[in-house]
Amino acid sequence: MTVDQILAKKGKEVYSVSSAITVYEALGVMSDKNIGAILIIEDTVLKGILSERDYARKIALKAKSSKKTFVYEIMEENVVTVKPSDKLEYCMELMDSKRVRHLPVSENNLIIGIISISDVVKSIIEMQKETIKHLDSYISQ
């Protein structure tokens, strides 16, 4: 299974904010959209990503104010991306080795979607169910 196949099922909705807003405002968008990370895109260029984990580690645990801290101060700038043609196994390895839970999907230097660890796990479970179904059918013959 490829990233493109995951996006075909899940959708290609991409939410983003400016790096110049406060972390509090970004968290509000994340809450409204029910997402665990949000991309920082400016002039169609991916500048970073902000996750709930970033907030917990860089704001809450350091007793900083999310209303006084700007996204650019804590966002992760070195964003790992994948291509639509990348295989699920590659995404899993990347998420594990880079210790990330979200992978923006880039095509022709534009972000066309994002996949999460949850999307990957759901897809793997779906593939395994299909394999079991085929094996069960084969054995039953």
Residues 6+ apart with CB under 8 A from 29: 15, 17, 38
Question: The domain 3-140: what is its CATH number?
Answer: 3.10.580.10
pLDDT one-digit tens code per residue, 98-117: 999 999 999 999 999 999 99
Pairing of strands 102-107, 110-116: antiparallel
Q: What is the pLDDT of residues 116-128, one digit of tens each?
A: 999 999 999 988 8
Please give the pLDDT value at position 128: 87
How much is the pLDDT for 129? Answer: 86
pLDDT, tens digit, 9 for 90 and up, residues 17-65: 999 999 999 999 999 999 999 999 999 999 999 999 999 999 999 999 9
Helices and strands in the chain: count of H runs, count of E runs: 6, 5
Which H helix or E strand runs over 58?
Answer: none
How would you classify the pairing of strands 45-51 and 37-42? antiparallel
Question: What integer pLDDT is reported at residue 119 of this predicted model?
Answer: 95
As a whole number, mean pLDDT of residues 125-137 equals 83
